[in-house]
Structure 1
């Protein structure tokens, strides 16, 4: 256990920062909380997908039918179950089905390479999966038992992954009367059990599996300080289900009796997004920083009808924030920050105005039942001093699956002012401003966030270096004048067959699309600085 040095000034500042305790149902599982909503709001609309609308009763019946099918393949209690499906009511019901059976869901994307899918399932010791027809998991993962989400004789889900809207009017399994409900499974689940697992990029080339407990989800969405969540809430489900923002979008609605509106297409079109937001009277939307900036640049009217706009995932452009304030006014925009290991959001900052001396938008203060500490060299920092952000509270993951070394590196127990805290070391640097908010100051390592996805440059470099056509590689992040970030890979070829297309094709078989560099530049060699390191500025200055 680390004993942190503290001063009275530092301790008082952090005490004020961390007055976040609020009552929440920390002893109930997500499935219990959802079933309570079914009892209270049975005829209220739970899920919307195009013209399809399912009430809480219908969604619960659909989830129970899928759960029965899953249980027919054996008990799921304490097991991790893969879920691979397009955005649809069946996807949401599948997540619920796994939780109802006492399992934890592992969401994966059908567009990921087969080798990556197999590696993730093996790492999570996942031997059972729910999949729709488009996922074709039986052929792709022969060692995994695949349980079809669709019932025999129901919808023929032959549309492409991109064409989710094309099946929205076809008959599917929720068309069975809600009375055709086998009932809630008898499985019991504790609040400490794992509810889901997300994978994040790992610096060694091996992704890290982050398990999240039921209690952590409840901590995220109950008594929320960053927005208002209740039965009148209408949340847009826009993020890939493999991205932890989906935790807020789905459970923020379905654990309060609100409505979860599924964006009907695989790719965002601003005109369609505006139509959905207006038509469904969406109250809350989460947007990654990059998407938020693009909307402001190209179609700011898209968000005019939304009551609360949450945005985060990367450092914000003050120019875009200023434009958003001018367009949408104060009290509608909130910046949110948080690593996957702390269950989606850890801090929030309502953007009401920009200070004249502001050079970075604050990440704000901790959300409910979350604590943040700024620490440097074993000492709790006083206001104005920059250090690493440590997070604590019931939102923390219990640690990485099957990775004790990574867990020991990122999670620790500290004592400060007589209080013992289990903390997550974020690797982010910040300072506590004079008005009591945290201001982000960059990373301790080379981990970056692009379009909301956390990426270790080392993992991308690992796969580049493994490419037979590549002799050396180096990966950088560039930023255009609008603040848009992208990965750029510099490659020294092993032979003449090393072309950008060949390298990109190699990576496509091993990495998801968001981790493949947007540019691959061929170089004869890498310029070095005086210290013998790759001169990044010189690399970029050489042009394409």
Structure 2
């Protein structure tokens, strides 16, 4: 199990090419040896403070080389790193630190020695918690090693330069950081904060980035505003929401030879569980599938009782295998609800219930159909109390033709999915994680509707 430990893999890259550049930004760079030395000094300091195996250590730093050093240091101290966003409101940070981080990583077995094992906890990452208190999923070393060392969906290695653009508290950072440092690649660190598409394009060029991960919303914006800037890339991964097939086609047409990957996976399954690789614009499907499971990950389409469904049937997606996390930090009831026995019947194996509605095709490709518990994503409550579907539109010109839009949408979608109102916006607002910020969308100018009545 030592081979499945992150530090074991990092040290192999260190021994192979100690003078290779491990991490850089626009002003500074560290070799693998320099990164190891800096992290080792900090790890010694943490040990002197009493930090030991499986102790959670919060890292509340802006995206930077120093944050990478701190992350590696916590791993070298055999502890569990807990990335925290410094932009979080103080009350949220206080809640996390006082009620959840302090104490042992309860969802994992206690670590009593420093013998390295892939089953050791590596990090605890908090999900959004927008509808309640934040919850942290605990991810083991072996899950991250599987994500990047066994990757068949992307080409990683010494020739790859990966841009670290995601906030450290967002699980895309897991792929960015360890995808570089465990394969001998170079991690290019973007400046902190939200960046414009122009700034991202400048970074791709100046830092020689070859591999980029973007949220679906940021990918769409990049294609609309700065498509030519993607030229340096060999591989572009996007996900976190439904990808526009039109934007995928435009990207592949503009950049022949680029591999574009639709990456799907909840935080609980270590960034990616399924990936769909696209290279030919003429072969891009509508809607874009989420693809097949990555190596050593298994997917199950089940009914409400957890029984397997035949290909073509719609059901909930359950994920098992190497990427599944150890559960939620200090939340045993929720862990028992979402992390269940593997429906494949593997003794002792655990599956994660995603809550996503999918369909598996005969060729093994998974199609995402929506959320089981939330089919309408963007809805508003009108003044008369009715819930109405609203479409927010970024117009190509100066105005939105509601009637033309409604006719086009009605030709493609069932009647119940046609928006009641179209709202033009200059751009779709994004959260710090790069996802659509639905709370920041403007309230529509509602027409006068009568109250709905029951038939």
Return the TM-score normalized by structure 2.
0.80
Trace 1:345-424 onto structure 2 (pairs within 5 A): 345-353=272-280, 358-378=285-305, 379-416=307-344, 421-424=349-352
Q: Determine the C-alpha separation between the residues in 2 that align with 1:289 and 1:247.
A: 17
Trace 1:360-509 onto structure 2 (pairs within 5 A): 360-378=287-305, 379-416=307-344, 421-446=349-374, 479-481=391-393
Equivalent of 2:439 in 511, 514, 517? 517
Trace 1:101-500 onto structure 2 (pairs within 5 A): 101-126=77-102, 187-202=114-129, 205-329=132-256, 331-353=258-280, 358-378=285-305, 379-416=307-344, 421-446=349-374, 479-481=391-393
**1:120-157, Cα deviation, whole Å (9 max, x unpaired):** 112323379xxxxxxxxxxxxxxxxxxxxxxxxxxxxx
**1:357-408, Cα deviation, whole Å (9 max, x unpaired):** 9431110000111111111244322221111111011211111111122112
**Structure 2 contact 252–258 (Cα < 8 Å) conserved:** no
Q: How far did residue 53 of structure 1 move?
A: 1.1
Provide the aligned C-alpha RMSD in A: 3.3
Where does residue 401 of structure 2 map in the other structure?
A: none
Q: Determine the C-alpha separation between the residues in 2 that align with 1:280 and 1:84.
A: 25
Which ranges in structure 1 are unaligned for 5 or more consecutive residues?
Answer: 1-24, 129-185, 451-456, 462-472, 484-511, 533-544
Structure 2 residue 64 is matched with structure 1 residue 88? yes
Q: Determine the C-alpha separation between the residues in 2 that align with 1:320 and 1:38.
A: 39
Where does residue 57 of structure 1 map in the other structure?
A: 33
Q: Give the match's secondary structure for 1:118.
A: helix
Q: Determine the C-alpha separation between the residues in 2 that align with 1:314 and 1:209.
A: 21
Q: Number of aligned pairs?
A: 404
Q: Give the match's secondary structure for 1:71.
A: helix
Q: Determine the C-alpha separation between the residues in 2 that align with 1:529 and 1:111.
A: 42
Which ranges in structure 2 are unaligned for 5 or more consecutive residues?
Answer: 105-112, 396-433
Q: How far did residue 266 of structure 1 move?
A: 2.1
Q: Determine the C-alpha separation between the residues in 2 that align with 1:52 and 1:212.
A: 30
Q: Determine the C-alpha separation between the residues in 2 that align with 1:211 and 1:300.
A: 37
**Structure 1 contact 296–320 (Cα < 8 Å) conserved:** yes
Return the TM-score normalized by structure 1.
0.68
**Structure 1 contact 335–349 (Cα < 8 Å) conserved:** yes
Higher relative contact order (CA 8 A, sep 6+): 1
Q: Determine the C-alpha separation between the residues in 1 that align with 2:48 and 2:449.
A: 58
Q: Give the match's secondary structure for 1:435.
A: coil
1:528–1:446 Cα change, 3 Å = farther
1:321–1:115 Cα change, 3 Å = same
Q: Determine the C-alpha separation between the residues in 1 that align with 2:435 and 2:364.
A: 39
